Amino acid sequence: MKAQPITVFACLIFLLLSFSVWHIGAGAVYIAPAEIISALQSVNSEHHFIINNFRLPRLLISGLVGAALAISGLLIQGVIRNPLASPDVLGVTSGASLAVIILAVFWPHAPISYIPAAALIGGFSATALLLFLARHLLQRPAAFALVGIALAATFGAAIDYLLVVNPLEINTAMLWLTGSVWGRNWQHLPLIAPWLAVLLPIAMLLAYRLDLLALGDDTASSLGTNVKKLRLLSILVAISLASAAVSVCGSIGFVGLISPHLVRSLLGQRHLLLIPATAITGAILVISADLFARILMPPIELPAGILTAFIGAPYFIFLLCRYKNW
């Protein structure tokens, strides 16, 4: 029996607000919830500088990146009807990461605004290569996912080679590749916020058609859906969101895999509910991962991607065993 949507959304919003307050308050300087509110309201507050210049932009970027990755995973799973699909599992984020590393190695002084373009090119190139190599495996989720994993490993090897041959800024690059929100500020917010602001409404407009697609291509076509155009547009939205997220924080793994499954178990298959709920869930996952990455081993900050991988890898193995005969 599925939960009532209003109950699910209320719980998700409560968790999002709770982790957000905790995220802003935690750190070398602890800030109580009441002081957070005061600091947000007054520039003369004792903690206004810390919150406004460091913690608030980091929180917003964490939430937006998590939402983008989660929606991307939901759309990819929906259009290819593969429960094991997600941007990182299929090698999309690795392709985007490789493109950004190539830009950093061969054009180290490129403007920061070039990073999203590089990530988009890498993400779309990885997707095109995957669909070409596994074009006969679209109906076999486990096999399709394994091709994506192999592709991601290949991109990872290429990244390692570039970093070994060009060791400049290797520490920063490795931190970025593991998926980290460390050092992110207001300058990075325009790299992700406009993408989500434009593409989230488009995803919502596709919700009804995605519900029809879940019934099968023939059924969707008979009900007036252009299946090829729907798949193409959905994949464009999904890869754009994933690439935008990678351009800001690197590869934060498994958010796009875990979030849709968690939400489907609560709300069923209606994409009009799944899309916003999955976005909130993804935001919670990345915010909480970044929070615990900061407080587990002070003063050392772990990359958030390590914690999401620690949770997501066993869950992926569970799903792989569950769908091994597909």
As a whole number, mean pLDDT of residues 141-151 equals: 81
Selection from 275, 255, 252 nearest residue 263 by Cα:
275
Residue 164 has what pLDDT?
A: 85
As a whole number, mean pLDDT of residues 135-153 equals: 78
As a whole number, mean pLDDT of residues 96-107 equals: 87
Residue 245 has what pLDDT?
A: 93
- Reply yes or no on whether the pLDDT at 172 is more than 70: no
As a whole number, mean pLDDT of residues 211-239 equals: 90
Residue 141 has what pLDDT?
A: 65
Residue 325 has what pLDDT?
A: 58
Residue 155 has what pLDDT?
A: 94
Banded model confidence at residue 288, pLDDT cuts 50, 70, 90: very high
Percentage of the residues of the chain whose pLDDT score is greater than 90: 47
- Reply yes or no on whether the pLDDT at 276 is more than 70: yes
CB 242 within 8 A of CB 72: yes
As a whole number, mean pLDDT of residues 105-118 equals: 83
Mean pLDDT rounded to a whole number for the chain: 89
Give the H or E element holding residue 275: helix 271-295
CB 68 within 8 A of CB 82: no
Q: Is the peptide bond before 299 cis (omega within 30 degrees of 0)?
A: yes
Residue 247 has what pLDDT?
A: 87
- Reply yes or no on whether the pLDDT at 103 is more than 90: no
